[in-house]
Amino acid sequence: MSYQSRGKRRFSLLASTLGLAGCILSVPVSAATFSTPDGVSGTPQTETTGGATRDGGQCLIDSDSSSEALSKLQKDTHLQLSEEKERTFVVYVPETIAKEASLTLQDESENIIYQTKVPIPEGGGSIGVSLPKNISELEIGQHYKWLMEIHCISDFSPENPIFEGWVQAI
């Protein structure tokens, strides 16, 4: 075999090897971006378990579904607030391994008006959170969203069970 023929064979072998290696190597994929479609508001008025839930509220003991297990004690979704009455949100939490929860109050644009953490009673039970009297940002006639999050995973994780409701300042 001639020297020139060996060179072509080596080049061909090298090119084939590099081509095959290129096929085997993975190509990086760009991340997908999701957004809310136009005309869809981000304020569901139903019980939820938080986006991207993987555990389904498994920190709630003897519970088939965290959204069914959490229940607010007020009858009406639009609880009326008043300056004269005690402004308290009450939620029943079943037995859980979680030690604390948080209450968040947001305006209609989802800006946080008030946020606090509260301990969960051992064995479950009612959690009542009163708004401080110094919260003067509540405008008469405006609607406010409140969320009670059970901290199963960590503080403010999308995997934590959440219960939400709406109030209107009067």
For 16-36, the DSSP string reads HHHHHHHHHSPPP-PPP---P
> Which pLDDT value is given to residue 143?
86
Where residue 153 falls (left for φ over 0; alpha for ψ -120 to 50; beta otherwise) is alpha
pLDDT digits (tens, 9 = 90+) for 38-86: 655 554 444 444 444 444 446 766 555 444 455 555 544 455 555 545 5
Are the CB atoms for 128 and 87 separated by under 8 Å?
A: no
Residue 5 has pLDDT above 90, yes or no: no
> Which pLDDT value is given to residue 69?
53
Residue 33 has pLDDT above 60, yes or no: no
Are the CB atoms for 99 and 151 separated by under 8 Å?
A: yes
Domain range enclosing 113 = 66-169
Residue 163 domain-assigned (yes or no): yes
Question: Which CATH number do you get for residue 153?
Answer: 2.60.40.3980
Residue 161 domain-assigned (yes or no): yes
Residue 49 domain-assigned (yes or no): no
Residue 129 domain-assigned (yes or no): yes
Poorest-pLDDT segment among 2-16, 25-39, 52-66, 79-93: 25-39
> Which pLDDT value is given to residue 75?
47
- What is d(CA 89, CA 73) in angstroms, rounded to the nearest whole number? 9
